[in-house]
Amino acid sequence: MNTTIAHTTSTTSPIVRDLRAAVRSEWIKLRSVRSTPIFGGLAAVIGVAMSLILGLAVKTDPYDHLPFTVATTFLVSSWLTTLFAVVAGTLVFTTEVHHGTLAGALTARPSRPILVGAKVAITAVLGFAMGVFGIVGGLAGGLVSGMDTGDLSGAASGVAWALVLTTLAAVLGLGVGLLVRHSAAAVTTVLVWALAIEALVQGLAPATVSRLLPFTAAHGLLGTRSATDSAETLAAALSNVGNVAVIGCWAAATLAIGTALLHRKDS
């Protein structure tokens, strides 16, 4: 009772065929573990919680002293969603190393770039989905808190940039996972870098340098303000496209080095 396993004679290029097969496998892997809906749910819960806190407890913007509205708050959680997306991205790879399933994937598809390419595609989907859940949560929390809707005319572009950010953030996390390979070490690296090292560099280096750091660029993309932002910092701020380019370059660099390491090191 064997299904005939015929060799396909399709005219599709072998690389496209292999990549498609690898993407399908990664999609099944992503859909079949509990951590995936947990990450999505977490993004939604954080979105709801932050909007509720701003609407019910804080109520007024500390910079311009205007009451918070749905329009000004629904993207606020995107920063935390971004951090979680990076963490989720690292785990896409490091859990494979931890459970030993990487070896199975590599023996089935020995081409490292194909395997990494498939993971990039699926991780990007994960990051995008987390962004969507976070934003929907933010909107829901804002509406539930009773805030005014406010001016939503610029919301579409804000949503678009936030989704680009969470998508790229997850891919950057995958690159970090490829480099570090150990779940706890990779997550620690991401959090220490995002929460401590970049702040340190911002304090020591000129704004023209610190704007090239990935999480600083992420803040720029979200338009996050800080009480410590100097006139120099604001003047050196990159455009949204520039910030996307910075994060994309970091993601590409970590992926390229990680893929090279995957090729050179024993698995």
Partner 1 sequence: MITVSHLTKSYGGRTVVDDLSFELAAGRITGFVGPNGAGKSTTMRMMVGLARPDLGDVTYRGATYAELRDPARTVGLVLDARAMHPGRSARNHLRAMAAVSALPEARVDEVLHLVGLDAAADQRVGGFSLGMRQRLAIAGALLGDPEVLMLDEPANGLDPDGIRWLRSMLTGFADDGRTVFVSSHFIAELATFAHDLVVVGNGRLITAEPLAETLERDRTLSLEDILLDLTRDAARYAAA
CB 19 within 8 A of CB 117: yes
User: Which string of x and - marks every residue 66-95 that binds partner 1 (by CB under 8 A)?
Assistant: -----------------------------x
Q: Is 109 in the site for partner 1 (CB under 8 A)?
A: yes
Q: Report the nearest approach of partner 1 to the CB of residue 248 (Å).
A: 27
Q: Is 101 in the site for partner 1 (CB under 8 A)?
A: yes
Q: Report the nearest approach of partner 1 to the CB of residue 25 (Å).
A: 4
- Which of 45, 49, 56, 106 binds partner 1 (CB under 8 A)? It is 106
- Residues, the chain: 267
If you search the block for the tokens 């997306």, which residue do you land on?
85
**Binding segment for partner 1 among 14-22, 166-174, 208-216, 238-246 (CB under 8 A)?**
14-22
- Which of 54, 85, 105, 120 binds partner 1 (CB under 8 A)? It is 105
Q: Is 22 in the site for partner 1 (CB under 8 A)?
A: yes
Q: Is 182 in the site for partner 1 (CB under 8 A)?
A: no
Nearer to partner 1, 6 or 227 (CB): 6
Binding site for partner 1 (CB under 8 A): 1-3, 5, 7-8, 14, 17-18, 21-22, 24-29, 32-35, 95, 99-101, 103-111, 264, 266-267
